[in-house]
Chain A
Amino acid sequence: MKEGAELRNEREFPHGKSGQGVGARLPRKEDDRLMRGRGQYVADIRLAGLQDVAFVRSPLAHARIRGIHVPERYRGSVFTAADLVGIKPIRAVSGLPGFKISEQPVLATGKVRQVGELVAMCLAPTRAEAEDIAASVTLDLEELPAVYDMLKAREPGSGLVHEHWGDNVFLETNYEVDISAALDAPIKVTREISTARQCMSPLEGRGVVATFDRRLDQLTLHSAAQMPHITRSGLAECLGMEEGQIRVISPDVGGGFGHKGILLPEEVCLSWLTMQRGHPVRWIEDRREHLVASSNCREHHYKITVYADRDGTLRGIDCEATVDSGAYSSYPFSACLEAAQVASILPGPYTTPAYRCRTFSVATNKCPILPYRGVARTGVCFALELMLDLVAAEAGLEPGEVRLRNLVRPEQMPFDNITKKHFDSGDYPEAMRRALAAIDIDSIRAKQKQGEADGRRIGVGVSIYCEQAAHGTSVYSGWGIPMVPGHEQASARLTPDGGLELRVGVHSHGQGMETTLAQVAHEMLGIDVGKIRIILGDTAMTPYSTGTWGSRSMVMAGGAVATACRELGERARRIGAKLLQHDPASVVLQNGEVRGVNGSVSIQTIAHTWYRRPQELPADVDPGGLEVTQGYKPVRDSGTFSYAAHAAVVAVDPDLGEVEILDYVIVEDGGVLVNPLVVDGQIYGGLAQGIGTALYEEMPFDASGQPLATTLADYLLPGPTEVPAARLDHMETPSPYTQFGVKGIGEGGAIAPPAAIANAVNDALRPLGVELMQSPITPHRVVEAVLAARATERSAA
Chain B
Amino acid sequence: MKPAPFSYERPRDLNAALSMLAASSGSAKIIAGGQSLGPMLNLRLVQPKLIVDISSLAELKRAEVSGSELVLGALVTHADIEDGRTADVTRGAMRGVAANIAYRAVRNRGTIGGSLSHADPAADWISSLAALGARVTLRSLAGARTMAIEAFVVGALESALHTGEIVEAIHVPARAASAHWGYAKSCRKTGEFAHAIGAVLVDPAAGSARIVIGAIDTTPIVVTEAAELFGGRIAADYKQRFDISVADALLAKAGIDDAAQRHIHVSVLKRAVLEAAA
Q: What residues of chain A have their CB less than 8 Å away from a CB belonging to chain B? A: 126-128, 131-132, 135, 286-289, 653, 655-658, 696, 711, 713, 716, 718-722, 778-780, 783-784, 787
Contact = CB atoms under 8 A, between A and B. Distances in A.
Given A655-B263, A787-B263, A135 B4 contact: yes
12 contacts: A131-B1, A132-B5, A135-B4, A287-B1, A655-B263, A655-B270, A656-B267, A696-B189, A713-B193, A716-B192, A784-B259, A787-B260
Nearest to A718: B189
B162 interface: no
Contact of A656 (B1, B2, B264): B264
Contacts of B2: 126-128, 131
Contacts of A779: 186, 188, 195, 264
Given A135-B44, A288-B43, A783 B264 contact: yes
Interface in B177-220: 186, 188-193, 195-196
Contacts of A126: 2
A771 to B, nearest CB: 16
Given A655-B267, A787-B259, A132 B190 contact: no
B39 interface: yes
A37 to B, nearest CB: 17
A783 B43 contact: no
Contacts of B195: 779
Contact of A780 (B193, B261, B270): B261
B189 A711 contact: no
A467 B79 CA distance: 47
Given A656-B268, A778-B188, 7 more contacts: A286-B1, A287-B1, A288-B43, A289-B1, A780-B260, A783-B260, A783-B264
A29 to B, nearest CB: 30
B189 A657 contact: no
B186 A658 contact: yes
Interface footprint category on B = 20 to 34
B3 interface: yes
A126 B3 CA distance: 12
- Per CB-CB distance, the 9 closest pairs between chain A and chain B, nearest first, are A128-B2, A655-B267, A286-B1, A784-B260, A783-B260, A721-B190, A656-B267, A722-B189, A783-B263
A174 to B, nearest CB: 39
Contacts of A286: 1
Contacts of A783: 260, 263-264
Contact of B44 (A131, A289, A787): A131
Contacts of A721: 189-190
A128 B44 contact: no
A696 B190 contact: no
Contacts of A658: 186
Interface in B248-273: 259-261, 263-264, 267-268, 270-271
Nearest to B2: A128
Contacts of A128: 2-3, 5
A657 B261 CA distance: 10
A658 B187 CA distance: 9
A719 B190 contact: yes
B188 A696 contact: yes
Interface of B: 1-5, 39, 43-44, 186, 188-193, 195-196, 259-261, 263-264, 267-268, 270-271
Given A131-B44, A787-B260, A713 B192 contact: yes
A787 B259 CA distance: 8
Nearest to B1: A286
A657 B266 CA distance: 12
B43 A656 contact: no
B251 to A, nearest CB: 14
Contacts of B192: 713, 716
Contact of B190 (A288, A722, A784): A722
Contacts of B270: 655
Contacts of A696: 188-189
Contacts of A722: 189-190
Nearest to A285: B1
A449 to B, nearest CB: 25
A135 B43 CA distance: 12
B39 A711 contact: yes
A653 B39 CA distance: 33
Contacts of A720: 190
A689 to B, nearest CB: 15
A721 B187 CA distance: 12
A128 B3 CA distance: 7
A321 B189 CA distance: 32
B1 A719 contact: no
A716 B189 contact: yes
A132 B4 contact: yes
A85 to B, nearest CB: 31
Contacts of B189: 696, 716, 718-719, 721-722
A132 B6 CA distance: 12
Contacts of A653: 267
A655 B188 CA distance: 14
Contacts of B186: 656, 658, 779
Contacts of A713: 192-193
A166 to B, nearest CB: 40
A131 B44 CA distance: 10
Nearest to A288: B1
A696 B186 CA distance: 14
A733 B220 CA distance: 59
A654 to B, nearest CB: 9
A658 B196 CA distance: 12
Nearest to B259: A787
A696 B39 CA distance: 22
Contacts of B263: 655, 783, 787
